[in-house]
Chains A and B, each alone.
Chain A
Amino acid sequence: MELSKRPATYAMPSYSLTGDLLGFLRCGLQYRYTRIGQLPSSRPVQMWFGQFIHGVLEESFRRFDLARRQGRWELPPWPEPVLEEILTLIKDRLAAQNLFAWSEELERLGDRRATAAVNELGPELFPIIRRAEVRLNGARPLPKEQIPVDCRFREADRYEMVGIVDVISHVELSDPRLQGNRFVQAIQSALPTALPEKFEVIVDYKGRRRPQCTRASDGPNYWDIYGWQLQTYGHLRSRHEDSLPVVAGALLFLNELVPTRSDLKQLRREAREGTTDVAPEPGSETERLLTKWREKDEPLLLPFEFRFARTIRVTPIDEESIVKALSEFDAVVARIETCRGRELQDAKVLSTWEKNPTDESTCTACDARTFCPSCKLETTPILPGIRS
């Protein structure tokens, strides 16, 4: 009697654009340890700030939305005590997960940025938000043809892409309350063709400054990846029965609302070198203020018009871009699945996962750097120490 072969597992893998793909592109081995192995990083890329700003915006919108549903239109700017209460609520929430600002200075900066986000961005953003923190998922065929035969270990022939969109916004161009709305204007000017009367825009908050538009290193290209993220989210959202045409995605780089000294220095350099897509207009008041500013002065708060332009980046969502984004997504998933298959075969981790030794900034913070075969930075662990 010949025994049967045990049926392979049926579980469909699930991959998120931000958690899985970005992590893998930074470095496959690091991704294996932190995401799959669930080993925490000893030097977490500071999660507090991003989560703080997200939390404040989300909570603030909830309040505005509740009032709106009860017939009250209570847009920010809000008085300080109201903001203070929200900021404290979110800090307590993060503290429960052991997330803290690593310094008082960062905490104050966080407060200022979160306040600016609510009081300056809120009036433009909240009226068009339809839903916040929306879970999107979609199953796609697993790109098996991109996975070597000996690395295919799944019975499932699909994988699930997942993501959480910060905001799905709903715009009706004829709505009188949206006349003069800066968001709507930004969307209208970014889209080459006429917009439908009613449409949706995917909005994603980023707790960082606006990236350069040229590639700085061999690391992941953030413009591309954020672009794929928006196209993918747009595609997934458009499948919902209650969706309107999803015409664009908008990234909001929240740090631009309250830049630090180093942000301003970098902005000046990028404007000079032409490596940013949003620079002050030549001859404008903004240009004058930025040129005049000295690094030893207090950080400058440039006019809101300019800061808003630095904050928002609109990307049209269209079929062709969606197809490209999805195929890029597929290609990375295939690479991850290949590594998983190899690991199962060889029962080894170090030799079976792709590494990314050219991105030094990823390696310096990596807990596997001393034994990673591709990293030559340190070959033995260093004892803790500070210069006396």
Chain B
Amino acid sequence: MITLEDFYRAYGSFRPLPNDEQREAIEEAPDRPLFIVAGPGSGKTTCLTLRILKLILVDGIPPNGILATTFTVKAAAELRSRILGWGFKLLDLLKEDSQLMPVERARVSRLDLNQVVTGTIDSICEQVLRLHRDPGVQPPVLVDDFVAKTLMLREGLLSSRRFEDPDLDQFLLNVSGGSKWGWNVGAKNNLIQAIWDRRFHDQVGWEKFVEIDEEDDDRSSDDEARRVLSEVISSYENSLTERGFADFAVLEQRLLERLCGGQLTDFLSQIRVVLVDEYQDTNLLQERIYFELAKGCGGALSVVGDDDQSLYRFRGATVGLFRDFADRYRSNFQRAPRKVFLKTNYRSSRSIVDFVNGYAGLDPAYQSVRVVGKPELLPGPVASVGVPVLAMFRPDVQTLGRDLATFIHEVFRGSGVTLPDGTRVERHANGGDLGDCAVLCSSPAEYNGGGDPRLPSVLRSELGAKLPAVEVFNPRGQDLEGIDVVGRFGGLLLECLDPGGLVEQRTSGLAPDVLATFQAWRRLAVNFASGPGRETLLEFAMGWANRDPQRSGWSWPKSVPVLDLVYGLVHFFPELHDDPEGQVYLEVFTRQVGACELIGKFKGRVVTDPTRDPEERGVTLSERSIMELYRTFLGPIASGTIKVNEELMETFPRDRLSILSVHQSKGLEFPLVVVDVGSDFKSNHQAHAFKRFPSRGGPPHSLEDLMRPYTALGPEARSGRDRAFDDLYRQFFVAFSRPQDLLLIVGLDKSRPGGAVRNVGTGWSRDGVCPWQANRPFVEI
């Protein structure tokens, strides 16, 4: 074994050595549990990586005995990259280190770091269940959100027209907050999916949850709703089981069951240490998995996270599991973990660190939900003072967008901007570009529900009009179905498959908003295809519409994969086949075709057969195949249920301005960050109170209130309103802690601190006091 000194000597030759607080975590004995609370920019991934490498090199833990999980595929890839990247550098150095004994150098040479087990909890579940299965057992076919949502929609909600049940509708509406704005089949489907996921995430006693007294003639609307909900969920569950499918929640549940049932002894015997990153986003099911894994290795569990950065309550995260980790661990393992605070921030200037600290302490009521004893962040030892936090408030979103666009353009395409104190802000002289800037919004949507442009849209047009023009990168900016190229492409698919919508009119299960989208798509497509220079496209489309091969001596095949049509049309869309962003939109269509192939009777094929369908009266097989494509292929896309796969987007383009949601920005950093705290808030309107100063809890809180009484977690003590405030403070904390050099807060005049609009993002505490009013922590420009 090498010593810690040898380890640091090698590491210190290519990286700065860890600080004292990081060393505390790194140097802890391998069998000891750790509770690492890591503030933003504190080198959490570095700390985790070094602990793992120390366990291997100094403590002699075999690489395949280390299991390290994190929340997202990207984070898992980054962690693995660091372990292997730094690890191999260390091995190269240690192999040549003359201060080591030959036997130690030989041991180091033989180490195979590649065998460290890393991944998301889901990828590890899938791997373990597949490799460690008994003969005769089918490995689960993991279906993604796409297929899961499509099945829930089709088998659960649309089946027997359950989506129209008034009791279920009211029940779900209550959970969602009561507003009918945006209330459609897609929204209901998403909520039911969330209930299904929570059933497992929170380990809900499901039978008790859906239990109703069948004898009671005077059943309430709530009871009726639970009955229908239970049917929806059972139908979904059956549809998964029949097909041998598992969604993510089921996958994790299965792993837990096998662990508890003592069936994974081979796998467990290999694991010596478990490390979990982003633990603030964990749920009860995952905690149980981690505790079971830890039991197999004497409690050697280390968790890392930051409760102030817990943003995933809406996906079932329970931040209390992290905050209370020490107690929860102790009651399972009869000893306490070592608590380590990583508080030194290596990312941001002093001004930004001060600002972020101030923000975290702004609301007195928020302090009680934070990890006990959490210290303030400290600026890094070489952090510059930096420029003060800036703010830009304007009367309306058009003016704000115009001035913000000018600011950004001047910095990255011009000669820089001079601040009120005379400081000049310029891009980096050697390759600085728009990729060094990000605009963060709670939602990057370009248009609001009323169709009016929001800040992202104004920025796009203002920057596009500049010289030289600047493009914006905002993949989540518009609802997919509202994007022009998606509409034209979708519309052409519709007109080719079902010209004029004759089959559409006879297709049941299509909600009104979906039909409206189809109509809009068709119009776009017809306009597009009738334009000049589009004759070849028109001919192709007409051929499909008429099922006419347009060659004499040829007839139309009885069954054609719809992918043939998709790729045929793609020929006419360079935006889809030559633009990396368009590729991501195209993948949505092909992915949904894949869902059809998995779960449809016609397997994603266009059938041309006038034979009557034996299963559906008055309908031919041709029509039935088109109906299936409506329900399973184009309908879900048009309903807003389907989102782009962001893992397909490599990285933020250097030459475009990235507009992100705060969630997307988590874990990232940019030299210049613009945070939109209130470009939507022209008044104190109740409709957007939930985004800035909630009067009550939102859907995730209602779901917790609904389901927690049936779980080991018990009912939530904190009110929905308080939880909603807590989540908002966390969201802004994450946003404000992204910048390295410059933070610019933007909003409308009315959102100024102490102004007409109360807004957590402009320094209001939940008791209606605005400390920023008297003491502005920013300089206005």
Q: Which residues of A contact B (CB under 8 A)?
A: 1-7, 9-12, 14, 33, 36-40, 42, 59, 62-63, 66, 89, 92-93, 96-98, 133, 135, 137-139, 153, 156-158, 160, 236, 239-241, 340, 343-344, 347-350, 367-368, 370-371, 380-388
Alpha-carbon distance A387/B551, docked complex (angstroms): 9
5 contacts between A and B (CB under 8 A): A12-B84, A42-B564, A92-B138, A96-B138, A347-B579
The answer to whether A241 and B436 touch across the interface, beta carbons within 8 angstroms, is no
The answer to whether B742 and A3 touch across the interface, beta carbons within 8 angstroms, is yes
The answer to whether A2 and B645 touch across the interface, beta carbons within 8 angstroms, is no
Q: Which residues of B contact A (CB under 8 A)?
A: 62, 74, 77-78, 80-82, 84-85, 88, 110, 112-115, 127, 131, 134-136, 138-139, 141, 243-245, 386-387, 411, 423-432, 435-436, 536, 540, 543-544, 548-551, 553-557, 560-561, 563-564, 566-571, 574, 577-580, 583, 586-587, 590-591, 593-594, 597-598, 603, 645, 648, 650-655, 669-672, 740-742
Q: Assuming the A-B contacts A1-B425, A37-B583, are A380 and B536 also in contact, with contact meaning beta carbons closer than 8 angstroms in the complex? A: yes
Partner among A7, A93, A385 whose Cβ is within 8 Å of the Cβ of B551: A385
| A84 CB to nearest chain B CB (Å) | 13
The winner among A33, A96, A241, A383 for most chain B CB atoms within 10 A is: A383
The answer to whether B563 and A40 touch across the interface, beta carbons within 8 angstroms, is yes
Instruction: Name the prevailing secondary structure of the B interface residues.
Output: mixed
Partner among B114, B134, B555 whose Cβ is within 8 Å of the Cβ of A139: B114
Alpha-carbon distance A42/B594, docked complex (angstroms): 11
Q: Please name all residues of chain A whose beta carbon is closer than 8 Å to the beta carbon of B243 when the two chains form the complex.
A: 96
The answer to whether A3 and B428 touch across the interface, beta carbons within 8 angstroms, is yes
The answer to whether A349 and B577 touch across the interface, beta carbons within 8 angstroms, is yes
Q: Please name all residues of chain B whose beta carbon is closer than 8 Å to the beta carbon of A4 when the two chains form the complex.
A: 428, 436, 671, 740-741
Alpha-carbon distance A368/B573, docked complex (angstroms): 12
Closest chain B residue to A141, Cβ basis: B88
Partner among A10, A93, A96, A133 whose Cβ is within 8 Å of the Cβ of B82: A10
Closest chain B residue to A94, Cβ basis: B141
The answer to whether A40 and B580 touch across the interface, beta carbons within 8 angstroms, is no
Partner among B77, B127, B141, B555 whose Cβ is within 8 Å of the Cβ of A96: B141
Partner among A5, A236, A349 whose Cβ is within 8 Å of the Cβ of B432: A5
| A157 CB to nearest chain B CB (Å) | 6
The answer to whether A158 and B88 touch across the interface, beta carbons within 8 angstroms, is yes
Alpha-carbon distance A39/B569, docked complex (angstroms): 14
The answer to whether B430 and A5 touch across the interface, beta carbons within 8 angstroms, is yes
6 tightest Cβ-Cβ pairs between the two chains A and B: A385-B549, A12-B81, A381-B568, A385-B554, A42-B563, A96-B244
Q: Please name all residues of chain B whose beta carbon is closer than 8 Å to the beta carbon of A5 when the two chains form the complex.
A: 428, 430-432, 436, 671
The answer to whether A2 and B428 touch across the interface, beta carbons within 8 angstroms, is yes
Q: Assuming the A-B contacts A98-B603, A160-B114, A383-B544, are A340 and B85 also in contact, with contact meaning beta carbons closer than 8 angstroms in the complex? A: no
Closest chain B residue to A64, Cβ basis: B135
Q: Assuming the A-B contacts A96-B245, A153-B651, A156-B81, are A3 and B672 also in contact, with contact meaning beta carbons closer than 8 angstroms in the complex? A: yes
Q: Please name all residues of chain B whose beta carbon is closer than 8 Å to the beta carbon of A385 when the two chains form the complex.
A: 549, 551, 554-557
Partner among A3, A9, A38, A40 whose Cβ is within 8 Å of the Cβ of B671: A3
Q: Assuming the A-B contacts A11-B74, A385-B555, are A3 and B432 also in contact, with contact meaning beta carbons closer than 8 angstroms in the complex? A: yes
Q: Please name all residues of chain A whose beta carbon is closer than 8 Å to the beta carbon of B113 when the two chains form the complex.
A: 139
Closest chain A residue to B650, Cβ basis: A344
The answer to whether B436 and A39 touch across the interface, beta carbons within 8 angstroms, is no
Alpha-carbon distance A11/B583, docked complex (angstroms): 22
The answer to whether B141 and A97 touch across the interface, beta carbons within 8 angstroms, is yes
Closest chain B residue to A238, Cβ basis: B112
Alpha-carbon distance A270/B590, docked complex (angstroms): 41
Q: Please name all residues of chain B whose beta carbon is closer than 8 Å to the beta carbon of A386 when the two chains form the complex.
A: 554-557
The answer to whether B81 and A59 touch across the interface, beta carbons within 8 angstroms, is no
8 additional contacts (CB under 8 A) given A4-B428, A241-B62: A1-B426, A3-B425, A6-B670, A12-B84, A36-B648, A39-B586, A349-B580, A385-B557
The answer to whether B556 and A384 touch across the interface, beta carbons within 8 angstroms, is yes
Partner among A2, A6, A33, A157 whose Cβ is within 8 Å of the Cβ of B85: A157
| B738 CB to nearest chain A CB (Å) | 11
The answer to whether A6 and B549 touch across the interface, beta carbons within 8 angstroms, is no
Q: Please name all residues of chain B whose beta carbon is closer than 8 Å to the beta carbon of A138 when the two chains form the complex.
A: 112, 114
The answer to whether B577 and A350 touch across the interface, beta carbons within 8 angstroms, is yes
The answer to whether A156 and B554 touch across the interface, beta carbons within 8 angstroms, is no
Closest chain B residue to A137, Cβ basis: B114
The answer to whether B550 and A241 touch across the interface, beta carbons within 8 angstroms, is no
Q: Please name all residues of chain B whose beta carbon is closer than 8 Å to the beta carbon of A6 when the two chains form the complex.
A: 435-436, 652, 669-671, 740
Q: Assuming the A-B contacts A39-B586, A381-B567, A383-B543, are A156 and B85 also in contact, with contact meaning beta carbons closer than 8 angstroms in the complex? A: yes
Closest chain B residue to A62, Cβ basis: B135
The winner among A11, A92, A236, A367 for most chain B CB atoms within 10 A is: A11
Partner among B82, B571, B586 whose Cβ is within 8 Å of the Cβ of A380: B571
The answer to whether B387 and A387 touch across the interface, beta carbons within 8 angstroms, is no
Alpha-carbon distance A384/B548, docked complex (angstroms): 8
| A9 CB to nearest chain B CB (Å) | 5
| B743 CB to nearest chain A CB (Å) | 12
Q: Please name all residues of chain B whose beta carbon is closer than 8 Å to the beta carbon of A7 when the two chains form the complex.
A: 669
Q: Assuming the A-B contacts A89-B136, A89-B138, are A2 and B551 also in contact, with contact meaning beta carbons closer than 8 angstroms in the complex? A: no
Q: Please name all residues of chain A whose beta carbon is closer than 8 Å to the beta carbon of B648 when the two chains form the complex.
A: 36-38
Q: Assuming the A-B contacts A96-B138, A98-B603, are A40 and B555 also in contact, with contact meaning beta carbons closer than 8 angstroms in the complex? A: no
Q: Assuming the A-B contacts A3-B672, A371-B577, are A383 and B549 also in contact, with contact meaning beta carbons closer than 8 angstroms in the complex? A: yes
The answer to whether A344 and B653 touch across the interface, beta carbons within 8 angstroms, is yes
The answer to whether B244 and A93 touch across the interface, beta carbons within 8 angstroms, is yes
